[in-house]
């Protein structure tokens, strides 16, 4: 039994939710999102609560039960509060700056890396060594953060590179003479 799937998703005031078969649409102050639930679960809207239930007792249906409920909850949280990821840049001369619709990164390569900012995502650089990625779609925010981090991931000897703000880098000892 899914402990997450059992809980209904409460739709707060100011948010309108619509369930049409497997399609869940949520509209709020920050925008509109939609999600198509897998066929293994049923989705129902009853008195400002979205309830997700498995169609049968198969392993896949039980797995999709909690997943679908979490995805629907992410829609509601996204249109009310939004999501945010913070990245930190470590290294001499490593910096970031937003110029129009691109994020310009100096990451120790012979050239600057220009990362185009996708629609629906806001990127802010409060300091040259900090990047804040925000948006209403949790999946998209996480994907953009992962793509920026992959441009120069943190290395274990000096810790240079791009890392998540809450990430711990296991440090290695260098060569000894």
pLDDT digits (tens), the chain, 177 positions? 668 888 999 999 989 999 998 999 999 999 999 999 999 999 999 889 999 999 999 999 999 999 999 999 999 999 999 999 999 999 999 999 999 999 999 999 999 999 999 999 999 999 999 999 999 999 999 999 999 999 999 999 998 999 999 999 999 998 887
Question: Are the beta carbons of 56 and 47 closer than 8 angstroms?
Answer: no
Alpha helices, H only, the chain: 3-6, 59-80, 138-151
Entry pTM: 0.88
Specify the length of the chain in residues: 177
Domains, the chain, with CATH or none: 3-80 (3.90.930.12), 83-164 (3.90.930.12)
């Amino acid at each position: 039994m899914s402990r997450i799937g059992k809980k209904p998703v409460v739709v707060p005031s100011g948010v309108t939710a619509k369930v049409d078969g497997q399609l869940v649409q949520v509209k709020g102050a920050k925008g509109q999102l939609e999600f198509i639930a897998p066929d293994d679960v049923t989705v129902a809207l009853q008195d400002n609560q979205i309830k997700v239930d498995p169609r049968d007792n198969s392993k896949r249906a039980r797995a999709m039960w909690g997943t679908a409920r979490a995805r629907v909850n992410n829609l509601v949280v996204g249109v009310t509060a939004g999501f945010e990821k913070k990245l930190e840049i470590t290294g001499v001369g490593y910096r970031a700056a937003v110029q129009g619709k691109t994020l310009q990164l100096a990451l120790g390569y012979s050239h600057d890396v220009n990362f185009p900012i996708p629609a629906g995502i806001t990127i802010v650089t409060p300091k040259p060594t900090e990047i804040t990625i925000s948006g209403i779609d949790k999946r998209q925010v996480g994907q953009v953060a992962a793509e920026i981090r992959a441009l120069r991931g943190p290395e274990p000897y000096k810790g240079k590179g791009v890392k998540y703000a809450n990430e711990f880098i296991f440090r290695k000892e260098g060569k000894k003479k």
